């Protein structure tokens, strides 16, 4: 009996202890639920990796979209339309290789102030590079300084700026050499014509302040001045016609109204040469026979005039390649930090006469690799 009581007492004690422990645990749990958890502190794990640097290529473009801005002096001139076409062709090629790139084209209409505003707008928009055919070599420089301050590279094409430190490279024609070649072609035509000396000539120049006009003028005179000094050439008139057909037409009409005693006219571009031809025909004379005409640029209308015998020669530059190479120069600079070994990349220059009028474009109007470009 006694033993059974003792066992019962022990059992009751155990039960009481268990109940107390359970109650304590429950109370602790209730208390902990009211206390906000302490912040958990973790130590970040840094994994050291060595990045693999792969130079971007035409098939591995730089991250993000590339926006190039092309500023043309005057898209009313067929020569500059060919420049735009070359740039567009380069953009199409890069896109076909997976490059995310676009080209914005601006027409300054031969207005320096308009071109400055256009460049400043593009700079504020954050374009990746500027390709510019300047209306005036000095007028646009303040705008290009803003581009330089923003780290935007500049490529000049066909015409350069006065301060070469504002651009990466100039892509264009050696216009002094081109002027010399044009003047030599004029002398050759005069010699072949059998016209008596002194040969009476007219010289029509382009826009003052453009490197193209000034360099061609220099080239003309490098050749003609010795003939002038010897008395073999007499300059009847030397006028500025601003690279415009209508102004050349007006200048020549006024001159021919005073005298038709003119043997030849040499012009700093084809637009002026075509205006001169129109004036010559309007005066009842035959261009190419009565008055020899030499132009510069080899635009389609001028090449047609060469084939017809109305123009003796024109100088084929390569506006197509100027635009085409300008795009690639900017692209390689952006994705590869490429810098040309020289700050002037000359484009091909060909004297176009009736002998090669059908073939010269093989050298000037088809895509060619940019000289000195980095490997793909």
Under a CB-based contact definition with an 8 Å cutoff, are residues 70 and 131 in contact? yes
The pLDDT of 43-67, averaged and rounded, is 45
The pLDDT of 216-231, averaged and rounded, is 98
What spatial distance separates the first Cα and last Cα of the chain, rounded to whole Å? 106
What pLDDT, on a 0 to 100 scale, did the predictor assign at position 51? 30
- Per DSSP, the three-state class of 101 is strand
Q: Look at residue 370 and tell me whether its pLDDT is greater than 50.
A: yes
Task: Give pLDDT tens digits for 298-310.
Answer: 999 999 999 999 9
Class for domain 175-316, per CATH? alpha beta
Taking only Cα atoms into account, the Rg of the chain, rounded to an integer number of angstroms, comes to: 38
What pLDDT, on a 0 to 100 scale, did the predictor assign at position 64? 86
Q: Look at residue 152 and tell me whether its pLDDT is greater than 90.
A: yes
Beta-bridged to residue 105, according to DSSP, are 70
* DSSP string for 123-170: HHHT-SEEEE--SSTTTTHHHHHHHHHTT--EEEESS--S-GGG-SEE
CATH for 66-172+319-347, options being 1.10.10.10, 3.20.20.150, 3.30.420.340, 3.40.50.2300: 3.40.50.2300
Q: What number of other Cβ atoms are within 10 A of residue 322's Cβ?
A: 29
Q: What number of other Cβ atoms are within 10 A of residue 134's Cβ?
A: 28
Under a CB-based contact definition with an 8 Å cutoff, are residues 239 and 251 in contact? yes
What pLDDT, on a 0 to 100 scale, did the predictor assign at position 9? 42
- E strands along 280-370, which residues? 292-294, 314-316, 344-346, 350-352
Under a CB-based contact definition with an 8 Å cutoff, are residues 122 and 104 in contact? yes
The pLDDT of 342-350, averaged and rounded, is 96
Q: What's the angle, vertex CA 114, arms to CA 111 and CA 118, rounded to 5?
A: 135
CA distances from 198 to 220, 236, 286, 345 (A): 17, 11, 20, 39
Flag the least confident range among 41-45, 152-156, 223-227.
41-45
Tell me how long the chain is.
376
Task: Give pLDDT tens digits for 110-143.
Answer: 999 999 999 999 999 999 999 999 999 999 999 9
pTM: 0.76
Under a CB-based contact definition with an 8 Å cutoff, are residues 313 and 285 in contact? no
What pLDDT, on a 0 to 100 scale, did the predictor assign at position 58? 38
| Mean pLDDT, the chain, whole residue set | 87
**Whole-angstrom Cα distance, residue 151 to residue 123?**
10
The pLDDT of 42-67, averaged and rounded, is 44
Q: Look at residue 362 and tell me whether its pLDDT is greater than 80.
A: yes
Instruction: Map tokens 């004690």 to a residue.
Output: 13
What pLDDT, on a 0 to 100 scale, did the predictor assign at position 375? 83
Q: Look at residue 4 and tell me whether its pLDDT is greater than 50.
A: no
- E strands along 191-232, which residues? 199-205
For residue 220, give both structure tokens.
Answer: 């003309």
Q: What torsion do the CA atoms of 114, 116, 119, 120 make, to the nearest 10 degrees? A: -110
Task: Give pLDDT tens digits for 24-53.
Answer: 444 434 444 444 443 333 333 322 322 333
pLDDT band at 63 (very low <50, low <70, confident <90, very high): low
The pLDDT of 356-360, averaged and rounded, is 96
Query: Closest Cα partner for 373 from 324, 339, 327?
Result: 339
Task: Give pLDDT tens digits for 241-290.
Answer: 999 999 999 999 999 999 999 999 999 999 999 999 999 999 999 999 99
**Whole-angstrom Cα distance, residue 170 to residue 144?**
14
Give me the sign of the Cα torsion angle 39, 42, 43, 46. negative
Residue ranges, comma separated, of all CATH 3.40.50.2300 domains in the chain are 66-172+319-347, 175-316
Query: Closest Cα partner for 184 from 307, 276, 313, 303?
Result: 313
DSSP 313: B
What pLDDT, on a 0 to 100 scale, did the predictor assign at position 52? 31
Under a CB-based contact definition with an 8 Å cutoff, are residues 70 and 84 in contact? yes
56 vs 48, higher pLDDT: 56
């Amino acid at each position: 009996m006694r033993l059974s009581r003792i066992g019962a007492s022990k059992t009751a004690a155990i039960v009481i202890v268990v109940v107390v422990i359970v109650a304590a645990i429950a109370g602790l749990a209730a208390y902990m639920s009211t206390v906000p958890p302490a912040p958990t502190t973790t130590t970040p794990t840094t994994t050291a990796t060595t990045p693999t640097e792969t130079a971007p290529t035409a098939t591995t473009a730089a991250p993000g979209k590339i926006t190039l801005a092309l500023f043309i002096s005057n898209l009313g001139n067929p020569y500059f339309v060919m420049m735009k076409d070359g740039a567009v062709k380069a953009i199409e090629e890069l896109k076909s290789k997976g490059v995310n790139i676009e080209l914005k084209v601006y027409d300054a209409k031969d207005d320096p102030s308009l071109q400055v505003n256009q460049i400043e707008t593009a700079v504020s928009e954050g374009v990746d590079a500027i390709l510019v055919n300047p209306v005036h070599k000095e007028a646009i420089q303040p705008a290009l300084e803003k581009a330089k301050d923003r780290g935007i590279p500049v490529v000049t094409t066909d015409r350069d700026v006065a301060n070469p430190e504002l651009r990466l490279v100039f892509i264009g024609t050696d216009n002094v050499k081109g002027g010399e070649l044009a003047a030599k072609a004029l002398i050759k035509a005069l010699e072949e014509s059998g016209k008596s000396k002194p040969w009476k000539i007219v010289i029509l120049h382009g826009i003052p302040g453009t490197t193209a006009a000034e360099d061609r003028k220099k080239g003309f005179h490098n050749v003609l001045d010795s003939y002038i000094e010897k008395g073999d050439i007499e300059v009847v008139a030397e006028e500025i016609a601003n690279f415009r057909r209508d102004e050349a037409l007006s200048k020549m009409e006024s001159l021919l109204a005073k005298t038709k005693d003119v043997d030849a006219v040499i012009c700093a571009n084809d637009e002026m040469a075509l205006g001169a031809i129109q004036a010559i025909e309007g005066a009842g004379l035959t261009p190419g026979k009565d008055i020899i005409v030499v132009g510069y640029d080899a635009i389609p209308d001028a090449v047609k005039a060469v084939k017809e015998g109305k123009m003796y020669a024109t100088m084929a530059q390569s506006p197509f390649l100027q635009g085409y190479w300008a795009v690639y120069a900017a692209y390689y600079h952006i994705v590869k930090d490429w810098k040309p070994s020289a700050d002037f990349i000359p484009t091909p220059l060909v004297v176009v006469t009736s002998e090669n009028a059908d073939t010269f474009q093989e050298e000037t109007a088809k895509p060619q690799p940019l000289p000195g470009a980095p490997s793909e």
